């Protein structure tokens, strides 16, 4: 999951449409790389201008300051410097029209949280190589994952697995991941 926090002063993203457009731009980066859209979370945190300080001084109202913080959990860049450069360049291109082109000052950073510290509704998401994320979907309390081994469903009330067989891929036991009766 990428989690984006957008700290901004009042008036910089004044309408739901302005927020939606930026959130859609950020989401497009991840979906183009194969992550499901529901993994991408963008939270807008509006702050009074009097609560934003740069170098001990309030940011000038004519030049608002926007701070973006992203936390990558589902997929990490690792030590690949070229990949990091491509990612930050592309994200900068996606963010720029929403801030720099409007005369705002801004910055962003990306942290990488270990996957072992991540859960979705109490469910430990599978490793990225385990499932084809392009066919994952979420809706109305369901998390459905289609695998080569069958279809796994996660419901509010519990977990079930359906399909041809159960087994283990890359050390993940499908039965214990999706069906409490096997735990």
- Give yes or no: residues 162 and 101 share one domain: no
* Residue 128 is assigned to a structural domain of this protein: no
Whether 166 and 109 map to the same domain: the answer is no
**Which residues sit opposite 161 in a β-bridge?**
152
Q: How many domains does the chain have?
A: 2
CB neighbour class for 58 (10 Å; exposed up to 12, middle 13-18, buried from 19): middle
Residue 22 shares a structural domain with residue 103: yes
pLDDT, tens digit, 9 for 90 and up, residues 16-58 = 999 999 999 999 998 888 788 888 999 999 999 999 999 999 9
Domain with residue 63: its CATH number is: 3.30.429.10
Same domain, 37 and 74: yes
Q: Which domain does 168 fall in, by range?
A: 133-182
Of 4-8, 51-55, 66-70, 163-167, minimum mean pLDDT range? 163-167
Tell me which residue of 74, 72, 73 sits closest to 128, measured CA to CA. 74
The percent helix, strand, coil of the chain (3-state, each to 5) is 30, 35, 35
pTM for the full predicted model: 0.71
Kindly give the pairing relationship between strand 65-72 and strand 2-9. Answer: antiparallel
Give buried/exposed letters for 95-128 (b at 16+ CB in 10 A, else e).
beebbeeeebebebebeeeebeeeeeeeeebbee
Residue 1: per-residue pLDDT: 80
CA distances from 90 to 22, 60, 162 (A): 14, 28, 39
Count of Cβ atoms closer than 10 Å to residue 132 Cβ: 13
């Amino acid at each position: 999951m990428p989690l984006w926090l957008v700290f901004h002063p009042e008036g910089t993203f004044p309408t739901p449409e302005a927020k939606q457009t930026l959130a859609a731009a950020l989401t497009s980066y991840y979906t183009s790389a194969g992550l499901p859209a529901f993994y991408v979370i963008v939270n807008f945190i509006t702050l009074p201008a009097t609560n934003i300080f740069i170098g001990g001084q309030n940011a000038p109202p004519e030049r608002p300051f926007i701070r973006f913080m992203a936390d990558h959990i589902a997929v990490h860049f690792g030590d690949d410097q070229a990949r990091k450069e491509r990612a930050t360049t592309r994200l900068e291109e996606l963010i720029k029209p929403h801030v720099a082109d409007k005369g705002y000052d801004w910055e962003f950073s990306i942290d990488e949280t270990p996957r072992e510290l991540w859960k979705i509704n109490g469910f430990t998401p599978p490793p990225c190589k385990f499932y084809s994320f392009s066919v994952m979907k979420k809706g109305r309390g369901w998390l459905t994952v289609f695998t080569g081994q069958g279809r796994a469903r996660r419901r509010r009330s519990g977990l079930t697995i359906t399909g041809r067989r159960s087994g283990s891929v890359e050390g993940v036991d499908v039965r214990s991941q999706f069906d409490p009766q096997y735990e």
